[in-house]
Each structure stands twice: as structure tokens, then as C-alpha cells.
Structure 1
């Protein structure tokens, strides 16, 4: 599946829900393209996508910078809009499962991005859904 492969449906779930997913690979500028795609999707939905774009950017940047991904690894992104919220799911191949932690000290060198993720989301979780894969779930309110 190419890195730009996607499936989006405006009415796949019901009249008040829509969903989109795609695969991101570590080629060229994956985070920027994913962010732009999320913003276009939010524009189609007529919702503010700034928070979603920032959370997606942080989660993908962490995956590519800290996840030790190989060039052939694929990260799956799914965005689902419901009546009053957007759910973002990012599935990352991981050699070792480790729950990311936000920084306790905002002056720390690592973890500040996850502090922002926690501040922007209603819910945030990191689980190992499949062996060798880390699943990050973020739920944001719609504005």
C-alpha cells in the first residue's frame, strides 16, 4: 500500500459520524503531509482542526523520532468525527512497548509535547493492542 493510501467516507458510520484513515511512511516529509491532510479533512467537516493538527503532529513526530522505525515501517492514522468530538488513532510499530509519559517539568528536554497533547485532548491513552504495535488514542472536542 503506498504511503498516500487512504479510505474516507462521509457517511460510513451514520449521518453524524465520518471517518478517514491512511498510512504514513517515513519517506520525505510524512508529518507535514499528514498534518495538511488532517486540516483539509477538518475543513471539509467545517470544524476547527488546529488542535487535531497539533496533536497529530506531536504523535507522529514522536513515532518517527523516538520509535526507531525502519524506512519500510508504516504508521496507520485514523480520524473519526462524531457529533461533538474527533477521535484520532495512531498505530505505530514498536520493537518494545513503552507508554509515553508527559514531562512533569515544563523545562525538561523531553516530554513537553505530550504535556501539550494532554492539555488539548479530552482523553489520551496509549495501549498495546497488537503485539509489536503501540496504539495511541486521542479524543478532542469539536470547536
Structure 2
């Protein structure tokens, strides 16, 4: 078993729950395992939905290990299928740092080297938000399984 994974629980056939180390390697592993699980569920690796989920997981996991890291504590990744979407939730144990709510996002200055990640999550998701957790918080997003353009036009 990979040392980056501390526990793996499946609550249903369409839900993946992992606790991963709060390291860059743990964040990278979260993205890889989420995309692999989607493929097992029938969402192909090269699909738009898979690529969008990979980007959302990468951003939320990177935020968890960068801004939400508490030494000695893991972060949790939860991926599940919901009607028409893939729900991604990343939880960390840091209580004093809370990301902005969806309505509070502002574009960073053009020269800024950071500050665009949650804007990407917002752009790729039909909904997202932040929930309190004891200890810490959970940032979640619902990524459509069918791209918005296909929903609007009926073209696949």
C-alpha cells in the first residue's frame, strides 16, 4: 500500500473517500486516484468531465496542502456521483484559514502569481461552496458530467 494513503473507505459503489498526506505528493495522488475512479465508474479518462474533475481536485487538494495544512494531519478527498455531476469535496483540519465564499471571489491583479484557483473551480463547476467541519472545513464543487455547452445545445 502506498504510504501516502492513510485510509480508504468506500461508502457506496459510487463514492470514493480517501485520506491522504498533506503533501504535494498527496495532492498529486488525489487527482490521479479521482480520475482513475471516474474511469472505473464509466467516465472515460479523455472526457471533458474527467479533465474538469481532475482540474478541480488538483486545485482543491493543492489548497488543502498549501493553506489548510496542519502538521501531522491528513486531508480528505471525497468523490461521488450525483445526478448529472461529480461531487468533489476536500476537507482539511485548519480552522483559522477559511477560503472566500463563492460570492466573495475577486479576480487577482494581472501581475499576481496566485489567486486564480478558486476562480477556475467556479468556472468548471455548476455549484461550489465551503462548509464548516470539526475540526476545519470542507470545500466542495459539483462538476457537470456533460459540459455546459452540450447541455445548452443538446450536441455531444
Q: TM-score range by the shorter chain?
A: 0.7 to 0.9
TM-superposed CA distance for 1:40, in Å, is 0.5
CA distance in 2, matches of 1:96, 1:67: 9
CA distances 1:76-115 after superposition (whole Å, capped 9, x unpaired) = 1111112311111111111404233644236233320111
8 A Cα contact 1:25 1:74, kept in partner: yes
Q: How many residues align?
A: 134
Q: Indicate the residue corresponding to 1:93 in structure 2.
A: 93
- Partner-residue secondary structure (3-state), 2:133: strand
| Partner Cα distance (2:40, 2:118) in 1 | 27
The DSSP-based 3-state class of the residue aligned with 1:109 is coil
1:114 aligns with 2:118: yes
Say which one has the larger Rg: 2
2:94–2:137 CA contact under 8 A, matched in 1: yes
Q: Identify the residue that residue 104 of structure 1 maps to in structure 2.
A: 107
CA distance in 2, matches of 1:115, 1:73: 27
Unaligned runs of 5+ in 1: none
TM-score (norm 2): 0.76
Preserved contact between residue 102 and residue 112 of structure 1 (Cα < 8 Å): no
Q: Paired residue for 1:8?
A: 10
User: For 1:1-143, what aligned pairs fall within 5 Å after superposition?
Assistant: 3-4=4-5, 5-8=7-10, 12=12, 18-27=14-23, 29-47=25-43, 48=47, 49-70=50-71, 72-100=72-100, 102-105=105-108, 107=110, 108-130=112-134, 132-143=135-146
Moved more, 100-109 or 83-92: 100-109
Structure 2: distance between partners of 1:66 and 1:96: 10
Q: Give the CA RMSD over aligned residues.
A: 2.1
Between the aligned partners of 1:83 and 1:142, the Cα distance in structure 2 is 9
* Cα deviation 1:23-50 (Å, max 9, x = unaligned): 0113561111111101101111122311
Runs (5+) with no aligned partner, structure 2: 147-156
TM-score for the superposition, normalised by structure 1: 0.82
